[in-house]
Amino acid sequence: MPQSLRLVLGSLLVLAGLALIAVAVLGARSRLRRNAWLGVRTETTLSSHAAFVIGNRAAAAPAGAAGAVAVAGGAVLLSGADGVLGWVVLAVAVVGTLGLAGVAGVVGDRAATSVPPPAFAPSGCSGTCAGCDLVAGCRDTAAGVPSGAEQG
């Protein structure tokens, strides 16, 4: 493996590993906020704040392990693993990192399913404003009376 390629790939592995470790630590401490890029981002975990926190807390251990594998692989590449050993270390580090990150996603998603779905306001007529009941279909727009009321 050429030295320049080894240095670039080793640096990328170390950076990706440090990012995974940071996300794992924030997730374990329930400090990771819902965002567009970091954490376990599935339909289940994004359904509520509580589901996101629980999912990322559960995924912290495998995500941290994925980060550790990436950092270790990158460090070995940066320290001078060359030739076939460099390619083997790269392959093991990439497969291990992606595998453990996938496990983190599955674990986080399954943990988030234990959180009950958020309660939404009941649909239909709430009678709080003049326009809301028209939108919700509570009042017949032609007659100007609520749809459930009888005309007499």
- The answer on 86 and 11 residing in a single domain is yes
Q: What is the pLDDT of residue 117?
A: 80
- The answer on 72 and 37 residing in a single domain is yes
- The answer on 145 and 70 residing in a single domain is no
- The answer on 134 and 60 residing in a single domain is no
Give the whole-angstrom CA distance, residue 9 versus residue 53: 32
Give the whole-angstrom CA distance, residue 20 versus residue 59: 11
Give the whole-angstrom CA distance, residue 122 versus residue 80: 63
- The answer on 79 and 28 residing in a single domain is yes
- The answer on 133 and 106 residing in a single domain is no
Range of the domain at 151: 121-152
pLDDT in tens, the chain (152 residues): 889 999 999 999 999 999 999 999 999 999 999 888 999 999 999 999 999 999 999 999 999 999 999 999 999 999 988 889 999 999 999 999 999 999 999 999 999 999 988 776 455 555 555 555 455 555 555 555 555 555 54
